Structure 1
Amino acid sequence: MSTYLPREVRDDLDAARMAKLRKRNRLRVLVGGEAWPVLRLWRSGFAVEAERVPALRGLVDVYDGSQHLYQCLIVASEEEGGEMRYEFKRNTAAHDSPPLDHARDPDTPIALLPR
């Protein structure tokens, strides 16, 4: 049995794999006002399509749809199989409100009502 695949077949398989990753993923990375689709995200980094996305560097924001997930400092890792992989140097979870400097009393009123 031969394990050799013609170049055209390998290219078509890679294109089908990339199309599947693009279609099912809502993740995107925002850099300088431009958003690029993220193919895969793991604990220590993410991958984008090497041909469509320019070289990324520095501080980026990762979104899932419209939800801001992380603010990350990234560095390029490697390119393989049409993917450019980036590793996190710093990965900070995004919050919708600033952190509190003190513990809130659970019985504190939320707002004051006018008379």
Structure 2
Amino acid sequence: MSEYMPEFLPKEVLEGLELARKRDSKRRSRLRVRTELGVYPILKLWDEGFTVARDNADQLRGLVGIYDGARHLYQALIVASHDDGFTMSFDFKRSTATTDRPALDYDQNEDAPVALLPHH
């Protein structure tokens, strides 16, 4: 459970508070995790992993994409790490930042052309 929820509240009240918190987080966040099966809102993202709603967690495993809106941030290999009953946390086994250009794995000349013009 979250640290801000007192333990003396009835279970139904705690569940209602957690549902309201999740709804609010989903509205604010543009972060998403994408798999072959679908796209799921990320409630919290940190350097070593992320958290999603528990009801979305059954479909998540293996290689996924992490997006901020339409922008692809990372390609990651994930593993489930913590289930608190409301949310599920996943750790990155591997996370690779995406770029908008191909990797340069060779020595490029300083005077190499930036672009080529077509012949007309």
CA RMSD of aligned residues (A): 2.2
Q: Is the 8 A contact 2:54 2:86 kept in 1?
A: yes
Alpha carbons of 1:27 and 1:104: their partners in 2 closer, same or farther (altered >3 Å)?
A: farther
TM-score normalised by L of structure 1? 0.85
User: Displacement, 1:52?
Assistant: 3.2
Letter in 1 for 2:61: R
TM-score normalised by L of structure 2? 0.82
User: Displacement, 1:20?
Assistant: 1.4
Alpha carbons of 1:82 and 1:3: their partners in 2 closer, same or farther (altered >3 Å)?
A: closer
After the TM superposition, which parts of structure 1 deviate over 3 Å for at least 4 consecutive aligned residues? Answer: 111-115
Q: Which has the higher helix share?
A: 2
Letter in 2 for 1:30: R
Unaligned stretches of 5+ residues in structure 1: none
2:107 equivalent in structure 1: 102
User: Displacement, 1:80?
Assistant: 1.1
| Whole-angstrom distance in 2 between the partners of 1:28 and 1:112 | 36
2:3 equivalent in structure 1: none
1:31 equivalent in structure 2: 35
Unaligned stretches of 5+ residues in structure 2: 1-5
Q: Is the 8 A contact 1:14 1:81 kept in 2?
A: no
User: Displacement, 1:102?
Assistant: 2.1
Identity in percent: 45
User: Displacement, 1:111?
Assistant: 3.6
SS in 2 for 1:52: helix
Q: How many residues align?
A: 113
